[in-house]
Amino acid sequence: MINLKIDNIPVSVPEGTTILEAAKSIGIKIPTLCYMKEINEIGACRVCVVEVKGARSLVAACVYPVNENMEVFTNTPAVRQARKTTIELILSNHNKSCLSCERNMNCELQALSYEYNCDCTAYPGALTPSEVDESTDYLVRDNSKCVLCRRCVATCKAIQHVAVIGTRNRGFLTDIGCAFEEDLASSSCAACGQCINVCPVGALKEKREIDKVRAAIQDKSKTVIVGTAPAVRAALGEEFGYPIGTNVEGQMVSALRLLGFDKVFDVNFTADLTILEESTEFIHRVQKGENLPLITSCSPGWIRFMEYYYPELIPNISTCKSPQQMFGAMVKTYYAEKMGIDPKDLYVVTIMPCVAKKFEKNREDQNASGYPDVDAVLTTRELAKMIKGNGILFNELANGEYDAPLGEYSGAGVIFGATGGVMEAALRTAVETITGKTLENVEFTEVRGTEGIKEATYTVGDLTVNVAVASGLENARALCEQIKNGTCKYQFIEIMGCPGGCVNGGGQPIQPAYVRRNTDVRALRASVLYNIDANSKVRKSHENAFIKKLYDEYLGEPASHKAHKILHTTYVKRNKY
């Protein structure tokens, strides 16, 4: 243990602790901007400077380790003035269109400016030349708002192992972007959107589709259907002041009705449908001994990553569409036929925790009815903005209920939003299908939790099944390398593109770095889904009564020719150069 004083208060902390962490241990919050725990610890912005007795200059608290008998001062006039000057210098090269910025009222630079009473016009002068990159279906980069914190760069490289962005040029011309001045659409970006979640300002945002959804709702010739993903209900409340980990499903349904959607359905329903198709696919592959391990296909960020970096694994990927795409496909085939509506007059909107879903809806082979399965995707953040823009008092809404029949789901369907959830849901169905026996305990806790890679072995009848679950593309890469080099022992693998799964998707509410490093946001959001599952009367996808009816009336059986035509898809090898 190291003994020191911070603002004349004795502190004892483990060796290797930084001044930033030591100060937090006694209730002092040192401001940061570029710092993100275990992702970006570079001391570049100098907002966290403090005085250390005997040091020649102020030091960056986020990277400076404590020493025995050190004396630290966090709020001297010199410290406060240095921080204020730094913030004002950052503001001098910043697009200060705060009132119209996506991150207004949720911007770390804006908050610091307020706290330090900064003058945004203190240092007028030239601005670094910048352009807005709107080349992709899913993301917009506006470098005029970038503060060069490099959080996005670190996340893309260290966490997602893609590294398609970095710092370019030098000095005053330094900016963030792709190599060789290419736009993002020309890169092998996985579309995960994790860079958006770590950006402290408004330099990164999803490509908005609110206006096109509003236009569809106003179009009297369209029947507008909305479906919500599992993870949205676990995070939407944060946009309205609720604590992290609050379930707002009922209020969300009521809000969607007030927005004017004709029917409010749940993508959990097609999560259950995915399990019927995917578990059947797994059983068939095991019986034939072909293309194992089977790897899940629900995460479009993971699929895009695989197509760029591991296309040789395409035969291993489940051919099942994601629950989002199955939802759109079922609305425009089964539901359209049932209701006597021409598919061209149906407009399908999904509410997703993910920006990669915006890319996924535009993929080829996602048009079971002859029209795109999904017409528009709104992130959780976009839904919150739309609710606020319509003057809906979300916090005062009573709980609403989903419409039938595409709003019915099991507990297995809802846990799709957490890493390990797809695997657990699939195991519940596969084990009962293989053994013909009812599971006494449906919880496969070994695949739960926010660890990057989890593994388990199960005995299913005469079969020993080794499974693995990975979230985050760095961990996905580790499993892919095992498959490539022949050391993989698994028969079934679940991969989610975002660390922690969909609850931490690139379209979820943005929490500042301070909250992220002191709160397990992923675990709190995931707990919502597991609590819903635990309290569900039906906890297995194959026991969803309407799923059974759907196969009896329309699809025939899992993996039937009709099911393949509507619910399955193909993949492509992408050139990453």
DSSP 430: H
Q: Tell me, what's the pLDDT at 461?
A: 82
Judge whether 576 lies within some domain.
no
| pLDDT of 475 higher than 90 | yes
Written as six digits, the tokens of 536 are 């569900």
Can you tell me the distance from the alpha carbon of 200 to that of 407, in angstroms, rounded to the nearest whole number? 36
Residues 479, 494 contacting (CB under 8 angstroms):
no
Antiparallel, parallel or unpaired: β 346-352 and 376-379: parallel
State the burial class of residue 44 (Cβ atoms within 10 Å of its Cβ: 0-12, 13-18, 19+).
Answer: middle
Are residues 193 and 327 located together in one domain of the fold? no
Cβ-based burial of 480 (10 A; exposed 0-12, middle 13-18, buried ≥19): buried
**Long-range contacts made by residues 27-32, C-beta under 8 angstroms, separation at least 24?**
28/74, 29/514, 30/61, 30/62, 30/74, 31/83, 31/112, 31/115, 31/116, 32/62, 32/513, 32/514
* 95 exposure class (CB count in 10 Å sphere: 0-12, 13-18, 19+): middle
Q: Output the pLDDT for position 576.
A: 66
Helix, strand, coil: what percent of the chain each, to 5? Answer: 45, 15, 40
pLDDT band at residue 398, thresholds of 50, 70 and 90?
very high
Q: Do 232 and 109 fall within a single domain?
A: no
Give the domain range for residue 17: 2-75
Q: What pTM, to 2 d.p., does this model score?
A: 0.95
- Parallel/antiparallel/unpaired status of strands 139-142 and 132-133: antiparallel
Contact 274, 320 (CB under 8 A): yes
Q: What's the pLDDT tens digit per position in 415-431?
A: 999 999 999 999 999 99
Does one domain contain both 238 and 293?
A: yes
The pLDDT, as a whole number, for residue 11 is 96
**Domain identity same for 172 and 278:** no
Q: What percent of the chain has pLDDT over 70?
A: 100
Say if 265 falls within a structural domain.
yes
Check whether residue 309 and residue 258 sit in a common domain. Answer: yes
CATH number, position 45: 3.10.20.740
pLDDT digits 0-9 by tens, 126-169: 999 999 999 999 999 999 999 999 999 999 999 999 999 999 99
Could you report the per-residue pLDDT of 402-459, keeping only the tens digit for each?
999 999 999 999 999 999 999 999 999 999 998 999 998 999 999 999 999 999 999 8
Q: What angle do CA 572, 576, 577 make, to 5 degrees?
A: 135
Burial of residue 449 (CB within 10 Å: 0-12, 13-18, 19+) is: middle
Q: How many domains does the chain have?
A: 3
Mean pLDDT (whole number) for 312-336: 97
| Residue 487 located in a structural domain | no
**Mean pLDDT value across residues 462-467:** 90
Question: What's the pLDDT score for residue 223?
Answer: 98
128 and 183 housed in the same domain: yes
Q: Are 212 and 376 in contact (CB under 8 A)?
A: yes
Average pLDDT score, the chain? 96
Over residues 317-333, the mean pLDDT reads 98
Q: For residue 29, is it within any domain?
A: yes
In a domain, 575, yes or no: no
Report pLDDT for 340: 97
| Residue 577 pLDDT > 80 | no
Per the domain annotation, does 463 fall within a domain? no
Query: Are 265 and 283 within one domain?
Result: yes
Kindly state the percentage of the chain with pLDDT values over 90. Answer: 97
For residue 463, the model assigns a pLDDT of 86
Q: Under a CB-based contact definition with an 8 Å cutoff, are residues 225 and 407 in contact?
A: no
Is the CB of residue 98 less than 8 Å from the CB of residue 104?
A: yes
Task: Give pLDDT, residue 77.
Answer: 97
Do residues 112 and 71 both lie within one domain?
no
User: d(Cα 419, Cα 298) in Å, to the nearest integer?
Assistant: 11
| Pair of tokens at residue 452 | 């990057």
Mean pLDDT of 363-375: 96
147 and 276 together in one domain = no
How many angstroms separate the CA atoms of 294 and 297, rounded?
9
Distances 52 to 2, 30, 58, 60, 71 between C-alpha atoms, Å:
15, 14, 7, 10, 6
Q: Based on the fold, state whether residues 281 and 374 are members of the same structural domain.
A: yes
Cα of first residue to Cα of last residue in the chain, in angstroms, is 50
Last residue in a domain, options 23, 48, 75: 75
The β-bridge relationship of strands 175-177 and 263-266 is unpaired
Residue 456, beta-bridge partner list:
467
Task: Identify whether residues 422 and 531 lie together within a single domain.
Answer: yes
Which pLDDT value is given to residue 138?
Answer: 97
Amino acid sitting at position 150: R
The verdict on 192 and 309 lying in the same domain is no
Q: Is residue 244 part of a domain?
A: yes
The answer to whether 488 and 458 have CB atoms below 8 angstroms apart is: no
> How high is the pLDDT of residue 575?
81
Is residue 81 in some structural domain?
A: no
Residue 52 C-beta-side C-alpha neighbours within 13 Å = 21
The average pLDDT across 502-524 equals: 96
- 205-235: per-residue pLDDT in tens? 999 999 999 999 999 999 999 999 999 999 9
Q: What tokens were used for 419?
A: 């890493």
Residue 177 belongs to a domain with what CATH number? 3.30.70.20
Residue 502's pLDDT band, with cuts at 50, 70 and 90, is: very high
Q: Which amino acid is at 384?
A: A
Q: State pLDDT tens for residues 271-307.
A: 999 999 999 999 999 999 899 999 999 999 999 999 9
Distance of alpha carbon 334 from alpha carbon 325, whole angstroms: 14
What pLDDT is stored for residue 363 in this prediction?
95
Mind listing the pLDDT tens digit for each residue in 3-56?
A: 999 999 999 999 999 999 999 999 999 999 999 998 999 999 999 999 999 999
Q: Name residue 352's beta-bridge partners.
A: 379
CATH value at residue 398: 3.40.50.1780
Two tokens, residue 96 = 């200060």
Q: How far is CA 34 from CA 41, 196, 289, in A?
A: 8, 14, 50
